[in-house]
Each structure stands twice: as structure tokens, then as C-alpha cells.
Amino acid sequence: MIYLASKSPRRAELLTRLGQPFGLLDIDIPEVRQPGEAPEDYVRRVAREKAGAGLLAVQGNASACVLGADTEVVLDDEVFGKPVDQADAAAMLRRLSGRTHRVISAVSLVDAGREAQAVSMSEVRFAEIDAADIDEYVASGEPMGKAGGYAIQGGAERFVVHLSGSYSGVMGLPLYQTMQLLRQFGVH
């Protein structure tokens, strides 16, 4: 049985697209970057910790396979997590405006005896976003709970000038990499 260790409705929606039945685990892992930790290492660690915590939660199920994922927006070397409030979301969008940022999405898959991980790196370039558009987008509530304060599959799609990489990875679960991991574990 496959389990998704995530509270994200977007990840669940994306995993559904692969056609595999799965269970959901409500896992709460602190997402705190350690001093000096590189952005990619941070995203990899959080994904691995989510998968490991999920495996502990289904300990009695010997056939359990647990998928953990993390996605972060990175501008220069700064990781933009989920905004704490609307002002924080607006500040993130102002900083991303007219710039290219990276979106790092890591996926970890674990079972009782194995662990594998994949990372998707995407680049997203935003147009210059004027203050009125930022205010309108933030007022919609959509930026809350989303890395970098935006949802590429929602209203922020209109800000994207260029995307290089995985659209589903920017949403929160890179489907190609996830499918490859599941195949490594014998899930087809």
C-alpha cells in the first residue's frame, strides 16, 4: 500500500493522476532550514523526514510504501517558505517580480528496507508585477499555505513569463520523478 505523508491537497491531487490508489497520512514535520544548510539539502532533508515519519506512523503494515515530498521557492540563496500572513505573501511576490527563481521539489520514497529520493529543479521567471496585481492576488487568499506565496496552477499563472522544468514539480509533486521512484519499488 502506498501512503502520501502530506497535508497538501495539491500533492494528493497530483498523485491521483498517476492512477495508483494511496492512503493519506497527516504528518507534521518542522520545516526549518539549518544554519548553513544549502537549499537543495534542506528540501531533500524535509522530504526524507516526512517519509520517515510516515513510515513510523504505519509501522504495523509491512507492505507500506511512504512518499514524502517538499517544495521550496529559492531566490538567490534565500528559501521562501509559506508566507506567515498577507504582508509576508505580498513581500515575497514583490521580491519575485521581474526575476527568475528556482523551485526545488524533492520526493522521498521509503519502505521497511529501502529508501530512494529524486529531486526536480525548475526555473520560473515572473513578469514585473504591479502593486495592484499583487494586492488583488494576495486578497484572493491563494498565496497562503504555498511556498513562495503563489500557486502556479492558480491565479499566479498569469505572472509566469517562462518556466523551465517540471510544472507539477512547481505545484508540489514532480510526477515524472515520482513515477520513476514508484517503479523502482515495483509499483506500476
Convert the pLDDT of each residue in 70-117 to its tens digit: 999 999 999 999 999 999 999 999 999 999 999 999 999 999 999 999
Q: Go through the domains of the chain in sequence order and give each one's CATH number.
A: 2-185 (3.90.950.10)
**Mean pLDDT of the region 13-23:** 95
Residues catalogued as catalytic = 70
Confidence at residue 145, expressed as pLDDT on a 0 to 100 scale: 92
pLDDT at 188 exceeding the cut of 80: no
pLDDT at 7 exceeding the cut of 90: no
**Mean pLDDT of the region 7-29:** 93
10 Cβ neighbours under 8 A, 6+ residues apart = 151, 153, 171, 172, 173
Confidence at residue 167, expressed as pLDDT on a 0 to 100 scale: 97
Confidence at residue 126, expressed as pLDDT on a 0 to 100 scale: 98
Mean pLDDT of all residues in the chain?
96
Confidence at residue 134, expressed as pLDDT on a 0 to 100 scale: 98
How much is the pTM?
0.94
pLDDT-based confidence at 187, cuts 50/70/90? Answer: confident
Confidence at residue 59, expressed as pLDDT on a 0 to 100 scale: 87
